[in-house]
A and B are shown apart, each in its own frame.
Chain A
Amino acid sequence: MTNNIVEIDNLSFGYKGRLLHQGINMVFPRGKVVAIMGGSGSGKTTLLRLIGGQIKPTKGQVRVNGEVVHEQDRDGIYKLRRKMGMLFQHGALFTDLSVYENVAFPMRELTDLPDSMIHDLVLMKLNAVGLRGAHKMMPTELSGGMARRVALARAIALDPQIIMYDEPFAGLDPISMGVICGLIRSLNDALGATSIIVSHDVKETFLIADYVYFVANGVVAAEGTPDDLMQSTLPFVHQFVHGDKDGPVPFHYAAGDYQTELMKKSHD
């Protein structure tokens, strides 16, 4: 058994004639928290979808537990996904089900556990994210941070080996952000899982990640531990980590000459 639970090997992916990733190599060792960072539109979430087998790579391969994801048939992919949990950017809770039923959903759908056991497991998972008291509430009654925690409880419902987080800190207040941040690390260690975080929140991600990949222009622009990257002199990493306005990622979107455009009387 290889030490890496997920391996991305020379992966390229594109659509509508545009290549989003070109020859990406990444490894995700068991038991670690690994972050994929990069600007908006750099294809971070797409990498999660490639790992989950929701889309197929144009070239190269993604291996989960040594099995090539895109070579699996539907049943094979579903078998692999049973080892994965995913936290979506906005939680993606089922709005017609209560908090309790949302967490119970994967247990009811994928196992034959009796109701009494599901009841105990759901309460344990909700207790782990601090929301046991909210189990009767509906998703519409939850705040953004609470919804994210319920979604996290649902993602770990079946004790997955891999937990993927798509922008887990986006749109949260500082307290909720801190709570989610702590939960990701503690749940990863408690479950002995591997966490893959896609984020552009440098401070929170660096606090909990063991290793970080920076994706830019379709390639891995930099990689290393958070400490290494904080000291990095690479212009892109420096701009991203310190939030500089201008740098390799320009402030202005590509456009024609400013003066010429202003002098034009009307648009063609």
Chain B
Amino acid sequence: MTKSNPLISIISTLQGIGHRMVERIWRLGAGARLFFLTIIYSGESFKRFHLTLREIYSTGVMSLLIIIVSAFFVGMVLALQGYNTLQKYGSSEAIGVLVALSLVRELGPVVTALLFAGRAGTAITAEIGLMKTTEQLSAMEMMAVNPISRVVAPRFWAGVISMPILATLFSMVGILGGYIVAVPLIGVDDGAFWSQMQANVDFQSDIVNGVIKSLVFGVACTMIALFEGFDAPPTAEGVSRATTRTVVISSLTVLGLDFVLTSFMLVI
């Protein structure tokens, strides 16, 4: 065994860091290129809307159960925690507005996006990765059918359309969960719960901003899932790694974007 020269190990470490940086930048560029191509070749997704509708079923409708169940529990926990704190200040009637604002502004879009990345994002990546592995995308190319137009674009628009609807449902079910805990179980006044919510939740700054967030998250999560699938090495290990990357990158992107969007929305 030969002892390694410290200078050589420093150089090779730097080379490794440089190589990873270049690879990350390359992937970012390739992802952006796929995004623009998807937009350019989106015509078919609307002309033959049944293709997009089919994907809305598999990404949106099939995600309903996990979204609804999670929303219900999140709403109930919010009500419990919120009541616990609010009652100390004698404002337990504000529980309705607390639950609604937390859900509509933040938890609705963010948790929906995280669940969407885990449920639908991974499915998209695995499906496209396997299509690549089994040469289905090559077969399409050889038939003079553009895979971006036929495979990527309908899934992209399905994700973009589904996400705000899922986030809205999440908020609605969450509020229902919060109501069940706050009113029948804890005994907060029914009228106060709803009237405070009605008075303090603003349509533009709360609801519309929440929908904008979920729309942005929809674009980000779906595009990441599509790119990872499209870029996956055509092996079992490659697809498995791509699926994991979809969850990790989507989750971090959603949390990062949430901060950026919230900052802009509060300033504006």
Contact = CB atoms under 8 A, between A and B. Distances in A.
Interface of A: 52, 54, 77-79, 81-82, 84, 86, 88-90, 92-95, 105-106, 109-110, 268
B144 A92 contact: no
Contacts of A92: 134-136, 138-139
14 contacts: A54-B138, A54-B141, A79-B144, A81-B141, A81-B143, A84-B142, A88-B138, A92-B134, A92-B139, A93-B136, A95-B136, A105-B145, A109-B150, A110-B143
Contact of B144 (A88, A89, A110, A268): A110
Given A95-B130, A105-B143, 8 more contacts: A78-B146, A79-B144, A88-B139, A89-B135, A92-B136, A92-B138, A106-B145, A110-B145
B135 A81 contact: no
A268 B136 contact: no
B266 interface: no
Instruction: Pick the most buried of B131, B134, B146: most chain A CB atoms within 10 A of its CB.
Output: B134
Interface of B: 1, 130-131, 134-136, 138-139, 141-146, 150
A81 B144 contact: yes
Instruction: Pick the most buried of A82, A84, A94, A109: most chain B CB atoms within 10 A of its CB.
Output: A109
Given A92-B135, A94-B136, A95-B134, A268 B143 contact: no
A82 B144 CA distance: 6
Nearest to B134: A92
Nearest to A268: B1
A172 to B, nearest CB: 17
B136 A81 contact: no
B61 to A, nearest CB: 16
A268 B2 CA distance: 9
B108 to A, nearest CB: 31
B44 to A, nearest CB: 9
